Amino acid sequence: MKTAETIEAQNSLKAEKVRRTQKHKPHRMHPNSIKNLKPYVPGQSGNPGGQPGYDVAAALARAVIEGSQEAAYEGFSKQLANGNAYAFKELAERGYGPKPQQHQITGADGGPIQTSIQVSFILPNGNAGS
């Protein structure tokens, strides 16, 4: 049977339990965690590179070439027959990027490049040693 004393005892136990759960240990921080924080410089973004933008012209160029290949072929072939390769070059470079350039670097008379490494040690007394 519940009496006023047992009900009061249960309520006090509940209150104690709530108090215990509300008390928590403070978070421990490493002393350098605050020192490493640096405020933003006014007028400068926190992400200077930012997310790359969307190139609408490149997307349109790819859509023209890929979406209607036969029409693009006819139009480019007419321009090429007239001696105008500029339209194709510009559209292709805008849509897919410029053609990679290849470079060949050679030494004298087209031979290999001669390289050498010389290492010198300086002794504590100032004299050079090998």
Mind listing the pLDDT tens digit for each residue in 8-49? 888 888 877 776 665 566 667 787 877 777 777 777 777 777
Tell me, what's the pLDDT at 21? 64
Top-confidence residue, 109 or 129: 109
pLDDT in tens, 78-96: 877 888 778 778 777 877 7
* Per-residue CA distances from 39 to 13, 35, 36, 90 (Å): 48, 11, 10, 45
Instruction: Give me the residue label for tokens 């400068």.
Output: 44
Q: What percentage of the chain exceeds 90 in pLDDT? A: 0
Tell me, what's the pLDDT at 84? 78
